[in-house]
Amino acid sequence: MKLQRYDAASSSDLKQLRLPLCARLCAVVALIAVTTNLALAQDSSPVISPDPQIAAALRQISVARIQSTIEKLVSFQTRSTLSAQDPASIASGHGIGAAREWIKSEFERYSHDCGGCLEVKLDSFTEAPGSRIPKPTEITNVYAVMKGTDQESAKRIVLVTGHYDSRNSDNLNITDLAPGANDDGSGTAVSLECARVLSQLKFPATVIFLTVAGEEQGLNGGRHFAQTAKAAGWNIEAALNNDIVGGDRSPQQDPSVVRVFSEGVPIAATDAEVRQIRSLGGENDSTSRQLARYIAEVGGTYDASVKPMLIFRLDRYLRGGDHSSFNEQGYAAVRFTEFREDYNHQHQNVRTENGIEFGDLPKFVNFDYVANVARLNAATLASLASAPAPPVKVRLLTTKLENDSTLTWEPSPGGRAASYEVLWRATTSLEWEHARGVGNVVRTTLPTSKDNVIFAVRAVDNQGHRSLAVTPLPER
Ligand SMILES: [Zn+2]
């Protein structure tokens, strides 16, 4: 009886054959199997093909290097954005100025090891006084640019960031310990370790390894960097913000997952765009959500020993982070954060009260976990930097009422796409469910109603590297 639900006509035809029940059932099962196989011949689950070079690079990510980076950052005693940055303090290894100089020297060392492949830069500016900045304060972001090897693709940028400033219980305190091992020594270590390992490879697109300051005073460094990038017309395809990825060793922690937060309706969307998003059900298809889905696929392709747990929300309650500054400029950006935060170990003076230890100390950090998160970041950066540019002007034709769906697009800029892939999913599904390779074309028609699913198109190169997916706009 159950089988009749699948295909009543076939089932009743089979009844007329007066075959034994078993034979009829077997025939129906075979029919379903054939139909399914036909579907599978064309469509598959979306998958990012593994690249042996990327897999080998991930094995170079070192727990010991991560640990020594975090311990070094903690050794500056405080990295409050308001703390000392005069030459004497830098020389004595105390305060944010000393941390800044050390990060710069690390990037320079990695660059030396790759024959000068990194351009190490400072982005300095003076922040005017505000509620958490009592006097004009110089804030400096430190970053390394690994320029892409392909002239056209080098204009595309993928970026990883963490904030190297820290704080204790009092955000204006600049003298007491503010170790910031997890918040955000861990994210800074991810950015540095990605730079150390990925600088041994070459990519067509540009990768930027960023560490920012001023996060605890009001996201000042990240905001300045994102605004400067936008003003300069930088094409940042993806910004990966790592903030609190230390995997705090509390018993309730789940070290097998890392949360990946992404905004829904883009904060940078215009009123007209928001109206369109609302009318088409595009609330789950911001570019940041496509980036989050891409990270989920990368997590399935490469064994980072930590799985991305997608959270479809900009950030946690009552909290903010540097990815939002990139979102404000219209860039796709997500935030990585450990599964469970221990608030005794963040933004706290180092102390013991009633037998409870407070403070953001290295002993609470799980360095293996940070290394796993670094692997997931590096795999995502390397996959995107290897991939062709996403197709542009992706459109879904809506000139007339029809049950087929026709998609058109313009080729992936840069000429590196060998073919294209159409993805789709049910409107109630959060991750792509189907993929169909359509060859090196700029138009395709699928026998699936656009009213019932969400489509996207992505570019594929001749080695199987996939671009970010682009959802279509309707075109009449
Ligand atoms: Zn933080």
- Render pLDDT for 436-467 as a digit per residue (tens, 0 to 9): 999 999 999 999 999 999 999 999 999 999 99
- Render pLDDT for 241-251 as a digit per residue (tens, 0 to 9): 999 999 999 99
Neighbours of 44 (CB within 10 A): 13
Give the pLDDT of residue 343.
96
Measured in Å, residue 25 CA sits from the centre of ligand 1 at 60
Dihedral (CA of 279, 283, 288, 290) sign: negative
Measured in Å, residue 420 CA sits from the centre of ligand 1 at 38
The residues, ordered by sequence, that sit 6+ positions from 56 with a Cβ below 8 Å of its Cβ are none
Measured in Å, residue 126 CA sits from the centre of ligand 1 at 21
Confidence of residue 45 (pLDDT cuts 50, 70, 90): confident
Measured in Å, residue 245 CA sits from the centre of ligand 1 at 9
Measured in Å, residue 314 CA sits from the centre of ligand 1 at 15
Measured in Å, residue 200 CA sits from the centre of ligand 1 at 29
- Render pLDDT for 293-314 as a digit per residue (tens, 0 to 9): 999 999 999 989 999 999 999 9
The residues, ordered by sequence, that sit 6+ positions from 444 with a Cβ below 8 Å of its Cβ are 406, 407, 420, 422, 438
Report CA 249 to chain centroid distance, whole Å. Answer: 24
Measured in Å, residue 229 CA sits from the centre of ligand 1 at 22
Measured in Å, residue 183 CA sits from the centre of ligand 1 at 5
Confidence of residue 29 (pLDDT cuts 50, 70, 90): very low
Measured in Å, residue 372 CA sits from the centre of ligand 1 at 19
Residue 469 pairs with which residues in a beta bridge?
none
Measured in Å, residue 73 CA sits from the centre of ligand 1 at 14
Q: What CA–CA distance (Å, rounded) separates 149 from 403?
A: 44
Give the pLDDT of residue 474.
96
Measured in Å, residue 261 CA sits from the centre of ligand 1 at 14
Measured in Å, residue 397 CA sits from the centre of ligand 1 at 44
Measured in Å, residue 216 CA sits from the centre of ligand 1 at 7
Residue 331 pLDDT greater than 70, yes or no: yes
Measured in Å, residue 327 CA sits from the centre of ligand 1 at 17
Q: What CA–CA distance (Å, rounded) separates 337 from 348?
A: 18
Measured in Å, residue 210 CA sits from the centre of ligand 1 at 14
Measured in Å, residue 239 CA sits from the centre of ligand 1 at 16
Measured in Å, residue 163 CA sits from the centre of ligand 1 at 7
Measured in Å, residue 215 CA sits from the centre of ligand 1 at 7
In contact, 216 and 166? CB cutoff 8 Å: yes
Give the pLDDT of residue 438.
97
Measured in Å, residue 184 CA sits from the centre of ligand 1 at 5
50 DSSP 8-state letter: P
- Render pLDDT for 55-109 as a digit per residue (tens, 0 to 9): 999 999 999 999 999 999 999 999 999 999 999 999 999 999 999 999 999 999 9
Helices (H), 232-286: 271-280
In contact, 377 and 302? CB cutoff 8 Å: no
Measured in Å, residue 303 CA sits from the centre of ligand 1 at 26
Residue 26 pLDDT greater than 80, yes or no: no
Measured in Å, residue 423 CA sits from the centre of ligand 1 at 35
